[in-house]
Amino acid sequence: MNARTTRTLAAALSLTAALAISGCSSSDDGSSDSAGESAKPKMSVSGGYMPEPVNDKMAGAFMVIKNDSKTADKLTAVTSPLSDDLQIHETKDQKMQQVQAMDVPANGELKLERGGSHIMLMGLKSKPNVGDKITVELRFEKADPVKVELDVKERTYTAQNSNAH
């Protein structure tokens, strides 16, 4: 009588243990796919160019910066071997003014184009000529920095995707 009771009890205990283990392992499965939310935005740049500047005092740089992520970001600084003073300019009432940062919307783009927002290089170390390539590095609030090579184009050149045509 005693032995049978013990065996039944043991069986009941091991059943409980099995349930507890399977319950535990099934709750583990759900936590593997939560990486997307806090992912860093990633930028891609296209159509970068610099119109050949008149002299070595200043030059403009134009491009389209695309943010393919769900996280909004900001362009905060630009550097280049050609100049120690790169500025981010916006154009308001046909006058340009320096800003500290410029939005790159989530799943959107920041267009730097003639007559609009652009990058300005001040006090050039040499005067670029048509055919040269200029390297600039874009810094963002969240995304990793992006190095871009700009083609130096004729003074009147405008990117094909602009409204000027």
User: Cα dist. 16→26, 50, 75, 123 in Å?
Assistant: 16, 73, 58, 77
* Three-state secondary structure call for residue 123: coil
Stretch that binds Cu ion, among 28-36, 64-72, 92-100, 130-138 (CB under 5 A): 92-100
User: Among the candidate windows 13-21, 22-30, 85-93, 131-139, which touches Cu ion by CB under 5 A?
Assistant: 85-93
Nearest alpha-carbon partner for 59 in 154, 124, 117: 124
Residue 48: closest CA among 153, 122, 128: 153
Residue placing its CB nearer to Cu ion in the complex, 74 or 89: 89
Q: Judged by CB under 5 A, which stretch of 37-45, 77-85, 112-120, 151-159 contacts Cu ion?
A: 112-120
Instruction: Please tell me whether residue 96 binds Cu ion under the rule CB under 5 A.
Output: yes
Residue 58 lies near Cu ion (rule: CB under 5 A): no
Question: Is 153 in contact with 130 (CB distance < 8 Å)?
Answer: yes
Provide the residue count of the chain: 165
For Cu ion, the binding residue among 64, 72, 120, 146 (CB under 5 A) is: 120
Q: Give 41 or 128: the residue with its C-beta nearer to Cu ion.
A: 128
**C-alpha to C-alpha distance for 3 and 84, rounded to whole angstroms:** 89
Instruction: Output the six-digit token pair for 55.
Output: 């002299």
Name which of 43, 67, 59 is nearest 123 in CA terms. Answer: 59
Q: Report the residue number, 41 or 62, with the smaller CB distance to Cu ion.
A: 62
Of 77 and 120, the one with the shorter C-beta distance to Cu ion is 120
121 binds Cu ion (CB under 5 A): no
Compare residues 77 and 96 and give the one whose CB is closer to Cu ion.
Answer: 96
Residues in contact with Cu ion by CB under 5 A are: 89, 96, 120
